[in-house]
Chain A
């Protein structure tokens, strides 16, 4: 089963990230793209479906596409990035560096460079092959008009067996039931003690 969760694979982490984005002012234009996935498939095209996210950062519209939409471990994939100025529509021309890090909860946060790409025909193309399934964060880094730009986006390789949400829900419900029952028992005990005292 191919399962890709571009936005919410680690909900708490994403919420924390979102809060950080909203709260912390950054010197560089930098953010983590939570953007909605879109899947472009044209009936005239022989390319497989791709995951596509459009986003706006600083003065640029950035579109990134991942081929195939649901990449697997050991399978070749590609990231395409298109960046153009919002006001003039001019394509970005400075090189873009692609970095990757593990996006798991307790994973090592050190980054590896995937490569640095020059623009070709308006597109930055970065190939990748991942040996292991998992949730990764790809960072695209570039400079424009002297300002540094950083864009993070999630990349899911292979299936994601997420029992976490159901686990959290069932765990929480169980906790609620246990706590309520403990309090109920204590109440009952207190009442019995009170009754005994009153009788004596």
Chain B
């Protein structure tokens, strides 16, 4: 029997749609402020955050402690997956990986940016194996090759993300502890191989689908790691942040702090914080839209990754609708697909990816024509794609909150018996109980989801206005095709949220 979570109530639907209509109309007529206010807030100066930030800046052991904790949990996931019960909801591997980590990861970006990358166990293990720092010094087991030019993009990460989605939703890795453990081992192997071949951390920068997803979403995070005083960086000739020093590794993704203006490739490892001789690097708060509005530079491959994110997040939601299996079944009959319907699923995945991309491409074409071809199509394509980012992020957050709040309840039980050996599957009564045993009340959850959808739309409109002005200064109301695109995508996301959602396990 399929268990479903109730969807967002109609009232919230009307509220969000009303908000979109009003804000959308306002955005077409309201003048855009000439100067973008850049207000930031140093966290090492604020009394509440100062002790924690200074601890992280001055000492490396808190990060090590976190790394070791995450590593222990990761190893536990592998052991539980390989040797524990195959009952997904009783095994730590599936519950911790898919219900908590995978769902909570995106929520963590909302508060902490790319902090996960700093404690990522795949990278930590690879680093311990390939470039360990021991008491007698550093060992280098890497060939330190240059990453080939054709790999220096986020295309590999996008392909990996599509592959991961296929495994997750098509093959059903999320319901198999054993497969979850295998996937974890595979990721460690890939990270290790990449580090053994290439210099720095090519896996994190170009290949890791999780890291790149976090990276792009981090453009909307309210925290950033930046120079305290830009003049000090401008005068710096040694670039310890980039090159490292005797004790601290160089920046794993080859960023120079002085010219850093986007979070995309920052892994929050803190190497720059510790290596800077002037102690000129620290965390600060910022408005969550600055980077997407102005700072982030458009790139062709990154534009496709952002569109991929938009398509795949909606696809995740779509496959958890009760009607999805019915669609797949009907389609499978038409094409003669059998079994797990992987061909039908793959076609569904491809279509779900193509549809928003084609829609976006047509939107930009309309914009290009309406505005009299004043800027190149490619520039508009890569520049306006930043509007997709907040839409994907907001829906991803709202969708994952459902998993986290409604399905995170059994975690304590699973920690008591991580391998779940000898336990019976959850009975229907227990599953029902979990529905009521939510981390926050259902109304609070609905409010958070509704507000997130408004937040995403608001950010997307802001990006549209500012990016639109920089790309097409005289366009004004002629930017409306992109606004329609934003409304259509957000409306679809909202509609998905309003449907009952199938429980993961």
Chain A contacts to B: CB under 8 angstroms: 1-9, 11, 18, 21-22, 29, 31-37, 39-43, 49, 55-59, 86, 162, 165-166, 168-169, 172-173, 176-177, 180-181, 183-184
Residues in A with CB closer than 8 Å to B185 are 165-166, 168-169
B393 lies within 8 A of chain A by Cβ = no
A56 to B179, CA, bound (A): 22
Q: Say yes or no: A43 contacts B425, CB within 8 Å.
A: no
Q: Say yes or no: B338 contacts A29, CB within 8 Å.
A: yes
Q: Say yes or no: A36 contacts B421, CB within 8 Å.
A: no
Q: Say yes or no: B339 contacts A36, CB within 8 Å.
A: no
Q: Say yes or no: B178 contacts A5, CB within 8 Å.
A: yes
Q: Say yes or no: B83 contacts A39, CB within 8 Å.
A: no
Residues in A with CB closer than 8 Å to B162 are none
Whole-angstrom distance from the CB of B294 to the nearest CB of chain A?
43
Residues in A with CB closer than 8 Å to B22 are none
Identify which of B83, B129, B188, B340 contacts A1 (C-beta below 8 A): B83
Q: Say yes or no: A180 contacts B428, CB within 8 Å.
A: no
Q: Say yes or no: B196 contacts A4, CB within 8 Å.
A: no
B275 lies within 8 A of chain A by Cβ = no
Residues in A with CB closer than 8 Å to B428 are 42-43
**Chain B residue at smallest Cβ distance from A36:** B172
Residues in A with CB closer than 8 Å to B193 are 172, 176
Residues from 141 to 198 in B contacting A, C-beta threshold 8 Å: 141-143, 171-172, 175-176, 178-179, 181-182, 185, 188-189, 192-193, 196
Q: Say yes or no: A36 contacts B176, CB within 8 Å.
A: yes
Residues from 121 to 149 in B contacting A, C-beta threshold 8 Å: 129-130, 141-143
B261 lies within 8 A of chain A by Cβ = no
Q: Say yes or no: A4 contacts B86, CB within 8 Å.
A: yes
Identify which of A6, A31, A58, A172 contacts B86 (C-beta below 8 A): A6
**Chain B residue at smallest Cβ distance from A5:** B178
Q: Say yes or no: B329 contacts A33, CB within 8 Å.
A: no
A166 to B186, CA, bound (A): 10
Residues in B with CB closer than 8 Å to A6 are 86, 176
A180 to B142, CA, bound (A): 7
Q: Say yes or no: A11 contacts B182, CB within 8 Å.
A: yes
Residues in B with CB closer than 8 Å to A29 are 338
Whole-angstrom distance from the CB of B112 to the nearest CB of chain A?
30
Q: Say yes or no: A2 contacts B421, CB within 8 Å.
A: yes
Residues in A with CB closer than 8 Å to B192 are 173, 176
Given the known interface contacts A34-B340, A35-B339, A177-B129, the answer about A165 and B82 at a Cβ–Cβ threshold of 8 Å is yes
Q: Say yes or no: A56 contacts B82, CB within 8 Å.
A: no
Q: Say yes or no: A183 contacts B182, CB within 8 Å.
A: no
Question: A36-B176, A37-B86 provided; 18 other pairs, C-beta below 8 A?
Answer: A1-B83, A3-B86, A5-B86, A9-B178, A21-B339, A33-B339, A33-B340, A39-B424, A43-B428, A56-B333, A58-B336, A165-B82, A165-B185, A166-B82, A176-B193, A177-B196, A180-B196, A184-B141
A180 to B87, CA, bound (A): 40
Identify which of B84, B182, B424 contacts A49 (C-beta below 8 A): B424
21 contacts between A and B (CB under 8 A): A2-B421, A2-B422, A4-B86, A5-B86, A7-B172, A9-B178, A21-B342, A22-B343, A31-B338, A34-B339, A37-B86, A39-B424, A40-B425, A55-B339, A56-B333, A58-B336, A86-B333, A166-B185, A172-B189, A177-B141, A180-B196
Residues in B with CB closer than 8 Å to A42 are 427-428
Residues in A with CB closer than 8 Å to B83 are 1, 3, 162
Q: Say yes or no: A7 contacts B338, CB within 8 Å.
A: no
Given the known interface contacts A1-B83, A36-B172, A39-B425, the answer about A7 and B342 at a Cβ–Cβ threshold of 8 Å is no
Whole-angstrom distance from the CB of B91 to the nearest CB of chain A?
11
Q: Say yes or no: B196 contacts A57, CB within 8 Å.
A: no
**Chain A residue at smallest Cβ distance from B337:** A56
**Chain B residue at smallest Cβ distance from A11:** B182
Whole-angstrom distance from the CB of B348 to the nearest CB of chain A?
14
Given the known interface contacts A31-B339, A56-B339, A173-B189, the answer about A8 and B179 at a Cβ–Cβ threshold of 8 Å is yes
Residues from 413 to 431 in B contacting A, C-beta threshold 8 Å: 421-422, 424-429
Identify which of A34, A39, A166, A184 contacts B87 (C-beta below 8 A): A39
Identify which of A21, A49, A162 contacts B82 (C-beta below 8 A): A162
A56 to B185, CA, bound (A): 31
Whole-angstrom distance from the CB of A23 to the nearest CB of chain B?
11
Q: Say yes or no: A1 contacts B424, CB within 8 Å.
A: no
B332 lies within 8 A of chain A by Cβ = yes
B341 lies within 8 A of chain A by Cβ = yes
Residues in B with CB closer than 8 Å to A4 are 86
Q: Say yes or no: A8 contacts B340, CB within 8 Å.
A: no
Whole-angstrom distance from the CB of B258 to the nearest CB of chain A?
33
